Structures are given as structure tokens and as C-alpha cells.
Amino acid sequence: MAELRTMTFVVIVTVIVVSLVLGLIDYVLAHSIVKFEFAKPS
């Protein structure tokens, strides 16, 4: 039973970490796009 609990914990942590990394990448890309838009000569 403890083994199953450990596996569940590992899966939950992995999902959280992946979500944070994807969120961070999305945030950085969004800000980079905004910077490029402002950098363009209008």
C-alpha cells in the first residue's frame, strides 16, 4: 500500500512540475512576443 502511495505522490509532483514549466515557458514566450512587437519599427 505504501508503494502505491509513493507512486501516486511521484505522479502528482511530476504533473505539478510539468505544469509549472509549461506555464513559465508560455509566460516567457508571451513576453518575448510583446517585446518583439514593441521593437518593430512602426
Domain spans of the chain, in order of start: 1-42
Return the half-sphere exposure (C-beta side, CA atoms, 13 A cut-off) of residue 25.
6
Specify the pLDDT at position 13: 98
Specify the pLDDT at position 22: 97
Specify the pLDDT at position 10: 98
Specify the pLDDT at position 42: 58
Residue with cell 508571451: 30
Residue with cell 518593430: 40
**1-42 residue pLDDT tens:** 789 999 999 999 999 999 999 999 999 988 887 777 777 665
Specify the pLDDT at position 41: 67
What is the number of helices (H) and of strands (E) in the chain? 1, 0
Specify the pLDDT at position 25: 94
